[in-house]
């Protein structure tokens, strides 16, 4: 059986901007999303820790330390909000016990505070 599991997560990212006048997506510093094992144009869920909003979008390249919601998603955040950015994958259920997602915990100015597993 195939199950869907957490693939990777950028935890406690700080929103640096919200641009309503854009087609849509989330601009993320490529260094950050690559460190979490995410990809350009990959679908991600955004979980807003400040207001509880949960929504999906896709990744585009941002500037250094940038986490900017664009288009309609910009209405669901304000600069300074803390968000969790998650991506999922499918695995065989027999592999679930040993599965390890990549988790990157962010700190001040979206700097990397911790990598899990350690990398």
- How far apart are alpha carbons 74 and 31 in whole angstroms? 22
- How far apart are alpha carbons 67 and 84 in whole angstroms? 11
Active-site residue identified among 58, 65, 88, 93: 58
Active-site residue identified among 8, 22, 25, 93: 25
CA distance between the termini of the chain: 30
Task: Please confirm, yes or no, whether 22 is among the known catalytic residues.
Answer: no
Task: Please confirm, yes or no, whether 58 is among the known catalytic residues.
Answer: yes
Q: Give the active site residues.
A: 25, 58
């Amino acid at each position: 059986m195939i199950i869907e599991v957490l693939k990777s997560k950028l935890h406690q990212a700080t929103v640096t901007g919200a641009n309503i006048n854009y087609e849509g997506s989330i601009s993320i510093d490529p260094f950050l999303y690559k460190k979490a094992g995410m990809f350009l144009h990959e679908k991600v869920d955004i979980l807003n820790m400040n207001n509880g909003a949960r929504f999906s979008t896709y990744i585009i390249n941002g500037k250094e330390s940038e986490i900017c919601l664009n288009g309609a998603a910009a209405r669901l955040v304000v600069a300074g909000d803390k968000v969790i950015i998650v991506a999922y994958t499918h695995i065989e259920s027999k592999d679930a016990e040993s599965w390890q997602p990549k988790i990157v915990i962010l700190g001040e100015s979206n700097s990397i505070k911790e990598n899990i597993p350690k990398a």
